[in-house]
Amino acid sequence: MSAVSTRPAARVGIGGPVGSGKTALVERLIPALMRRGVDLAVITNDLVTAEDAERVRRSGLIDPARVAAVEAGACPHTVIREDPTLNIEAAAALERQFPGVELILLESGGDNLASTFSRDLTDFWMFVIDVAGGDDIPRKRGPGVIRSDLLVVNKVDLAPYVGVDLPRMLAEARAVRGGRPVLTTNCRTGEGVDAIVQQLEREVLFRQ
Amino acid sequence: MLRLHGIVGRADDAELHQRLHALEHAGALERVTMEEADLGRRRIRLTSDKGTDCAISVDRAEDLSEGAVLLLEPGRAIVLRVGVAKAWRLRARDAGAALQLGWHAGNLHWRVRFDGDMLLVLLDGPLAEYRARLAALLDAGLVEDGGDG
């Protein structure tokens, strides 16, 4: 890759409700992206701790120095939408420390279906929901579900155990999103993660 | 994929305007259109009106905006257009109603602009969904609905 193709580092947001699998997705994306030679850093957002950042740092998947923590101190959406200064500063600091970085993943703290990312902060953002959260989530038309660049439906393996009609849930998700992409994952096994990587390679890394 | 990085000029610049005009007459001017809701992105993939697949980026200190010239060669230019957001026009009946309207717009995290005594709500979805949120104020006559025309 030439220098011009990596500047500025792509900033990709990952939002979604508590427990939907955002950190698990980050832990799957890191090795999948690194296998493709993507120079990577991560920012995690938590309420009043660095819990998720510590989890990623201890994972052994990435140099711990490449994982920054932002503590929102309030509702998580405030620091990814209303005033994303803390996250913008964290991303800029990672770019200064690691000049070749091509992609910065920004994981939001777990929030509700209304959370969205500011375009000032991210070039592309995905919203993660899971089948165990209920197959009515797409029908509720939350801004996160509708406006995200990519909707990820995680834990698809649990559908039969929680009484979810997965094909119907996905059809409803696609209907409310007006044709924008919806992908499925099982982050416990890694199923579906390559399709997300391909989406990022095309939309913001410009490798395809 | 055509890789484009940075902004080489502005379409409304007097000198560039003439060159772009000449290129347009020669059929060598392409336009890429970005949705208004995507403003702020520094990396985006767009297809031009002539079918060119453009992978566009700018530095963080630059903004992609209407009229940005992304490519300028002797026989070819690419210019960025930005779609215009639909806006719902609202006027509050009095100061009390304006306080309520302002509270709702903030609480709902709507993007707004001001035009005199009108509040303009930039629409990211169907107008009906926005109207539903203010139904009580509209039905009570506290807020005048100026539509999105």
pLDDT digits (tens, 9 = 90+) for B93-102: 999 999 999 9
Give pLDDT, residue A1.
Answer: 40
The answer to whether the CB of A143 falls within 8 A of the CB of A121 is no
Give pLDDT, residue A179.
Answer: 87
Give pLDDT, residue A2.
Answer: 41
Chain B, 49 to 78: residues with Cβ < 8 Å from chain A are 55, 57-60
Q: Is A2 a member of any domain?
A: no
Task: Give the residues of chain A that fall short of pLDDT 50.
Answer: 1-5
Give pLDDT, residue A5.
Answer: 47
Interface test with B, best of A1, A12, A75, A123 (most B CBs within 10 A): A123
Give pLDDT, residue B99.
Answer: 97
% of chain B surpassing 90 pLDDT: 87
Dump pLDDT digits (tens) for B60-93: 999 999 999 999 999 999 999 998 888 999 999 9
Tokens of B14: 């007097």
What are the percentages of helix, strand and coil residues in chain B, rounded to 5? 25, 35, 35
User: In this structure, how many other beta carbons lie within 10 angstroms of the beta carbon of residue A134?
Assistant: 15
Give pLDDT, residue A49.
Answer: 85
Task: Give the residues of chain B that fall short of pLDDT 50.
Answer: none
The chain-wide mean pLDDT, for chain B, equals 95
Give pLDDT, residue A38.
Answer: 97
Among B5, B40, B43, the residue with its CB nearest the CB of A10 is: B43
B2-82 CATH choice from 3.40.50.300, 2.60.260.20, 1.10.260.40, 3.40.50.1820: 2.60.260.20
For A79, the domain range is 10-198
CATH at A73: 3.40.50.300
Tokens of A61: 């998947």
Domain segments of chain B as ranges: 2-82, 87-148
The count of structural domains within chain A is 1
B87-148 CATH choice from 1.10.3470, 3.90.930, 2.10.260, 3.30.70: 3.30.70
Q: Is A204 a member of any domain?
A: no
Q: Is A208 a member of any domain?
A: no
Q: Is A5 a member of any domain?
A: no
What are the percentages of helix, strand and coil residues in chain A, rounded to 5? 40, 20, 40
A8 to chain B: closest CA residue: B59
Chain B: closest CA distance from residue A206 (Å) = 6
